[in-house]
Copies of this chain bind each other. A is one copy, B any other.
């Protein structure tokens, strides 16, 4: 039995974490189902002293860190298509993860974080505000007031993604790969925590996002946005 510990908001459908969504999609890609175990900020019930989600527990084995979990799933389960398409595909996906973690997610953060407190339990509100405002270098309210000004730079920074998806349906080519789930995880996080419109309706990324929401019978779409 596979268990996935993941970050949730007030509703279990509102998983907060881009990294948890990478793994939800990877599990579906492999045709695997997992028992989802919600974890909220500040709770202490993660296995084996882990302090961050996602954590995967598979028949007693504990794997932390989304990249390590994806590699574990690829190596352990021959069900479903490959997540990486071989060692070079896996290595190249690390660059896509690096771009996501150093450009995409940090630039999304100030755009959507002002809307996140509504998903945080009362007991975790002070912790959430303190840690996020330290990362922002300003209050959540100041972030809300300045996000429109940050939007053009965010949209411009998506140029590599648009260019890559100009010539193929998915980052993985004709079929989605873990690289798609890496990038999509951040868009899904934004969609679930904030109504802020991060992309223009006519953005050429929209067809790809629609394809991602359609995958696995609408797995990601069924997690309702706000």
Which A positions have Cβ atoms within 8 angstroms of B? Answer: 82, 84-99, 101-103, 159-164, 167-168, 170-174, 177, 179
Contacts and interface: CB of A to CB of B under 8 A. Distances in A.
Nearest to A93: B92
A82 B92 contact: no
A164 B85 contact: no
Contacts of A102: 159-160, 163
Contacts of A90: 173
Contacts of A85: 85-89
A223 B150 CA distance: 43
A88 B91 CA distance: 11
Which of A90, A91, A103, A167 has the largest count of B CB atoms less than 10 A from its CB?
Answer: A91
A92 B86 contact: no
A92 B163 contact: no
Q: Which 6 A-B pairs have the closest CB atoms?
A: A85-B88, A91-B173, A92-B92, A98-B163, A88-B89, A99-B160
Nearest to A92: B92
B160 A92 contact: no
B98 A161 contact: yes
Given A103-B159, A159-B103, A160-B103, A177 B98 contact: no
A179 B89 CA distance: 10
A160 B88 contact: no
A133 to B, nearest CB: 23
Contacts of A172: 88, 91-92
Given A85-B85, A87-B174, A95-B160, 7 more contacts: A86-B86, A89-B92, A90-B173, A92-B95, A92-B172, A94-B167, A102-B159
Contact of A88 (B84, B95, B162): B84
Nearest to A169: B91
11 contacts: A84-B88, A85-B85, A86-B86, A86-B88, A90-B173, A92-B93, A95-B96, A95-B99, A95-B171, A95-B179, A102-B163
